[in-house]
Amino acid sequence: MGKWSPADDAELATGWRLWLELSDRVWPDPSWDGTPADAIRQVRALLTACEEIRLTYLAETSQPSVALLQLLQSMSFVASFAVDLWHDDTHPLDVDRAELLHGDLASFAEHVAGVRAALARGGGWVELDRRPWGLPVD
């Protein structure tokens, strides 16, 4: 994963917002109906959020960060295969298809983890991924 460090407040806020959005939207939520299309719903919502973040960032800065834009754009690129494959599959999963869907989501989740790690390193909030929420930092 590429390196990124914020050059200004707009870039820092964008990185932070992206990091937060990526925290829990890869896997289906409890409302999942058991179909691949509904599993991909959350990924599609995440991609929509990424596009909104990108457009907001571009509106706020006159010198956008290539590294940050690449991180944002990588999300739709990496997710495109799974989204194209599963977005209209409304049939309940069988064991074989569940394994395939899980593999596609796991690949995307691995990419998301890499983007989050790059953002955390560059933004200086690596320790947030390392400690249980709500506990004081030593």
| pLDDT > 90? residue 133 | no
| pLDDT > 50? residue 137 | no
Whether residue 76 is contained in a domain is answered as yes
Nearest to residue 23, comparing CAs of 115, 96, 103? Answer: 115
Whether residue 110 is contained in a domain is answered as yes
For residues 73 and 121, what is the distance between their CA atoms, to the nearest angstrom? 19
| pLDDT > 50? residue 69 | yes
Q: What is the mean pLDDT of the chain?
A: 89
Which residues span the domain enclosing 25?
9-129
Question: Looking at per-residue confidence, does 85 or 131 come out higher?
Answer: 85
Confidence bin at 138 (pLDDT 50/70/90): very low
Token look-up 């200086």 returns: 124
* Tally of structural domains, the chain: 1
Integer CA distances (angstroms), 55 to 44, 58, 60, in order: 17, 5, 9
Whether residue 4 is contained in a domain is answered as no
Whether residue 137 is contained in a domain is answered as no
Whether residue 134 is contained in a domain is answered as no
Which DSSP state fits 34?
S
Whether residue 136 is contained in a domain is answered as no
Integer CA distances (angstroms), 53 to 13, 40, 57, 87, in order: 10, 20, 6, 23
For residues 76 and 73, what is the distance between their CA atoms, to the nearest angstrom? 6
For residues 138 and 135, what is the distance between their CA atoms, to the nearest angstrom? 9
Confidence bin at 80 (pLDDT 50/70/90): very high
- What pTM was estimated for this model as a whole? 0.87
